[in-house]
C-alpha cells in the first residue's frame, strides 16, 4: 500500500519532512477520477458537485461530517461486475463493506446477490426484500440462533467455516426438516500481498479449514455424509485490497485440486466454487485497480485452465466484491475546525469527525487523498495531516496530504473512496455521533442512514 517515502531531511520549512507521500500534485484543484465517484466535478465557482448537487448545499442541509454516496456510481459499478461475470457466474456483494436497506434494493434491482456475515446483516437484507435464495451466509462463529434464522428464511447457501459448524448446521437443518445448501470455506495457504489484518488465506488465522494436512478433504467427507446438507462447492477468500492476481491464481489452482480429489474419492463433481472478494481500489492516484471485466476474464481463464488439466467440468464461479463496488462511490465531507502549522513539520488540520467515522488509517495505516471542496484555490501546496476530534493522537484521517496553504476554518474538505469499511466500522468513541449516509442522484439528495443523535446514545444507556 505504501507510496514512495520522501527522504528525511533537515527540518526547514521549505524542505519536506519524512513521510509517505509523493511530490505535491501539479494542480491541487484537480479531481482524479480514479479516486472520486463518476459524477463528481467542480462547478463554475470551484465548488465540488456530486450527483448534480454542490457540497455546500449538502453541508447546509445535512451537516458535517457526512458520507456522500453517489447512487449512479454504485449502480454502474454493481452492473459492471454483473455484466463482466455474465450468466455463468454469480456476483455476491459483500455487505460488510457497507449495508443499508437502500443498498439492498439497488443490488436487488441490478441483479446482484448478497453476502451477509451476521444476524444483523441478514435482518437488514431480508427487511429490504432481498430474496433469501440470493443470500450467502458467512462467518467463523455463527450462533445457533443465527443459523436457525438463516435456514428458516431459506438462504441460498451457508458457508461452513469449521468442523463444529458442519454438525451444527446439519443438526438445525434436520430439525427444521430441510436440506441446506452449503459451501465449505478452505484456507489455501496463500500469503496475499496486503495488510496482515486483512489477509485471510494463510494458515495461521481464524477463518476456514486448511487444505493442508487433508483437513479440508476430511470436512468435505463429513459434510457429504450428512443428509440435511447439500454440499454445492468450495469457498476461498484470500484477503482484501489486493491488486496482484497471482494470489487468486494459486487459490484457484488449489481449490480445483481439492475438487479433483473429491471427484476421485467420492465420485462427485461439486458444481460451484467461490473465489471470495478482495479486489483493490484506488485510494490515491498511485493505486491502479483492475476493471471488473479484466478480473472476470482472468478468474474464469484460470478456473477453466485448471479444470481442463484436472479433467473436471468447469464449476460455476461466484465472487464476493465489497470494497470494489461501494468503496469508490462515496466520500466523507468534513468541515475544517482548526488549522495548526507546526514549524518545520507539517500543518495539522482538524475536522469535525475522525477515527470514529474512519478507523482504517489508524488500524491499517491506510492511505487516503483529500481535497478542498467548498471552493477552488490558487494558493500553493501545504503539507498537512488531517486529524479528527478524538482524544487520541492516533486519530488520523489522512496521514500526509497536500492542501492549499490558504485553507481556513469553515472550509469544507472531502476524503474520497470512503464508501467501504468506514460507515460499517464506525464507532461512538468519545460519544461522537456517527455521521449520516446521504445518497445523491440526478440533483436529488436523500438520507439513507440518518445521523446518530444524543437520544440514540442515551437510549442504550439504561443504568
Ligand atoms: N468475502 C469474504 C468471505 C470476506 O471475508 C470479505 C471481506 C469479502 C468477501 C469482501 O472483501 P472486499 O471485496 O471488500 O475486499 N475492514 C477491512 C477489510 C476487511 C475485509 C473482511 N472480509 C478494511 O477496511 O480494509
- The DSSP letter of residue 355 is T
Residues forming a β-bridge with 199 = 239
Given the C-alpha cell 433469501, which residue does it identify? Answer: 132
- The DSSP letter of residue 108 is H
Tell me the pTM: 0.94
Ligand 1 atom with minimal separation from the 97 CA? 14
Report d(CA 197, CA 286) in Å as an integer.
Answer: 22
**Interval 346-373: pLDDT, tens:** 999 999 999 999 999 999 999 999 999 9
Give residue 200's pLDDT.
65
SS (H, E, C) 268-323: CCCCEEECCCCECCCCCCCCCCCCHHHHHHHHHHHHHHHHHHCCCCCCEEEECCCH
Could you tell me the distance, in angstroms and rounded to a whole number, from the CA of residue 452 to the centre of ligand 1? Answer: 25
Nearest CA to ligand 1 atom 19: 198
Give residue 229's pLDDT.
98
How many beta carbons lie within 10 A of that of residue 49, not counting itself?
A: 20
- The DSSP letter of residue 257 is H
Query: Which helix (DSSP H) or strand (DSSP E) does residue 245 occupy?
Result: none
Distances (CA, A) of 203 to 166, 216, 223, 462: 20, 12, 21, 43
Q: Which of 117, 307, 391, 422 is catalytic?
A: 391
Nearest CA to ligand 1 atom 15: 278
Could you tell me the distance, in angstroms and rounded to a whole number, from the CA of residue 322 to the centre of ligand 1? Answer: 7
Residues 395, 362 contacting (CB under 8 angstroms): yes
| Bond into 193 cis (ω within 30) | no
Q: Is 391 a catalytic residue?
A: yes
Residues 6+ apart with CB under 8 A from 14: none
Residues with CB under 6 A from ligand 1: 94, 96-97, 115, 138, 198, 237, 240-241, 276-279, 320-324, 360, 364, 420-421, 425
Ligand 1 atom with minimal separation from the 323 CA? 14
Give residue 4's pLDDT.
35
Query: Which helix (DSSP H) or strand (DSSP E) does residue 147 occupy?
Result: helix 144-153
**Under CATH, to which class is 138-321 assigned?**
alpha beta
Which ranges in the chain are annotated with CATH 3.20.20.10? Answer: 138-321
Give residue 7's pLDDT.
35
Q: Which three cell numbers mark 9?
A: 531531511
Report d(CA 138, CA 149) in Å as an integer.
Answer: 13
Does the domain at 13-70+328-458 match CATH 2.40.37.10? Answer given as yes
- The DSSP letter of residue 17 is P
Could you tell me the distance, in angstroms and rounded to a whole number, from the CA of residue 418 to the centre of ligand 1? Answer: 14
Between CA 217 and CA 223, with CA 222 as vertex, the angle to 5 degrees is 95
How many CA atoms lie less than 13 Å away from 434 in the CB half-sphere?
16
In three-state secondary structure terms, 256 is helix
Ligand 1 atom with minimal separation from the 422 CA? 24
Q: Which three cell numbers mark 157?
A: 447457501
| Site to substitute for ligand 1 among 94, 326, 364, 420, most atoms within 8 A of C-beta | 94
Could you tell me the distance, in angstroms and rounded to a whole number, from the CA of residue 10 to the centre of ligand 1? Answer: 41
Which ranges in the chain are annotated with CATH 2.40.37.10? Answer: 13-70+328-458
| Site to substitute for ligand 1 among 323, 359, 362, 427, most atoms within 8 A of C-beta | 323
Give residue 21's pLDDT.
66
Give residue 11's pLDDT.
37
* pLDDT < 50 positions in the chain: 1-14
Amino acid at each position: 500500500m505504501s507510496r514512495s517515502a520522501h527522504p528525511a531531511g533537515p527540518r526547514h520549512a521549505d524542505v519536506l519532512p519524512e513521510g509517505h507521500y509523493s511530490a505535491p500534485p501539479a494542480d491541487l484543484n484537480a479531481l482524479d477520477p480514479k479516486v472520486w465517484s463518476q459524477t463528481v466535478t467542480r462547478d463554475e465557482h470551484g465548488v465540488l458537485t456530486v450527483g448534480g448537487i454542490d457540497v455546500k448545499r449538502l453541508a447546509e442541509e445535512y451537516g458535517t461530517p457526512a458520507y456522500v454516496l453517489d447512487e449512479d456510481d454504485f449502480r454502474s459499478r454493481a452492473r459492471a461486475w454483473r455484466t463482466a461475470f455474465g450468466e455463468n457466474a454469480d456476483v455476491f456483494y459483500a455487505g460488510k463493506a457497507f449495508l443499508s436497506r437502500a443498498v439492498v434494493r439497488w443490488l436487488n434491482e441490478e441483479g446482484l446477490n448478497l453476502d451477509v456475515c451476521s444476524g444483523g446483516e441478514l435482518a437488514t437484507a431480508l427487511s429490504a426484500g432481498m430474496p433469501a435464495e440470493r443470500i450467502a451466509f458467512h462467518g467463523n462463529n455463527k450462533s445457533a440462533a443465527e443459523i436457525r434464522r438463516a435456514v428458516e428464511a431459506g438462504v441460498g447457501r451457508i458457508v461452513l467455516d469449521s468442523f463444529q459448524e458442519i454438525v451444527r448446521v446439519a443438526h438445525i437443518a434436520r430439525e427444521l426438516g430441510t436440506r441446506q445448501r452449503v459451501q465449505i470455506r478452505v484456507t489455501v495457504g496463500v500469503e496475499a500481498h496486503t495488510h496482515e489484518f486483512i489477509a485471510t488465506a494463510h494458515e495461521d488465522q481464524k477463518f476456514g479449514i486448511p487444505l493442508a494436512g487433508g483437513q479440508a478433504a476430511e470436512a468435505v467427507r463429513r459434510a457429504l455424509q450428512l443428509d440435511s446438507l447439500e454440499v454445492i462447492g468450495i469457498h476461498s477468500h484470500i484477503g482484501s485490497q489486493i491488486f496482484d492476481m497471482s494470489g487468486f491464481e494459486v487459490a484457484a489452482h488449489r481449490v480445483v485440486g481439492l475438487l479433483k480429489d473429491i471427484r476421485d474419492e467420492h465420485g462427485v463433481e461439486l458444481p460451484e466454487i467461490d473465489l471470495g472478494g478482495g479486489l483493490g481500489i484506488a485510494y490515491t492516484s498511485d493505486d491502479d485497480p483492475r476493471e471488473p471485466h479484466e478480473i472476470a476474464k482472468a478468474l474464469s481463464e484460470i478456473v477453466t485452465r485448471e479444470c481442463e488439466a484436472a479433467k473436471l467440468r468447469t464449476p460455476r464461479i461466484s465472487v464476493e466484491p465489497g470494497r470494489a463496488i461501494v468503496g469508490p462511490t462515496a466520500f466523507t465531507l468534513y468541515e475544517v475546525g482548526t488549522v495548526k502549522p507546526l514549524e518545520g513539520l507539517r500543518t495539522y488540520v482538524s475536522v469535525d469527525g475522525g477515527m470514529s467515522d474512519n478507523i482504517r488509517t489508524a488500524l491499517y495505516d491506510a492511505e487516503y487523498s483529500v481535497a478542498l471542496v467548498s471552493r477552488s484555490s490558487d494558493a500553493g501546496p501545504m503539507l498537512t495531516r488531517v486529524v479528527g476530534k478524538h482524544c487520541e493522537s492516533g486519530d488520523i484521517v489522512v496521514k500526509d496530504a497536500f492542501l492549499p496553504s490558504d485553507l481556513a476554518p469553515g472550509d469544507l474538505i472531502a476524503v474520497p473512496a470512503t464508501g467501504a469499511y468506514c460507515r460499517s466500522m464506525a464507532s461512538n468513541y468519545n460519544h461522537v455521533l456517527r455521521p449520516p449516509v446521504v445518497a445523491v442522484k440526478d440533483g436529488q439528495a436523500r438520507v439513507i442512514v440518518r445521523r446518530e443523535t444524543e437520544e440514540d446514545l442515551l437510549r442504550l444507556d439504561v443504568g
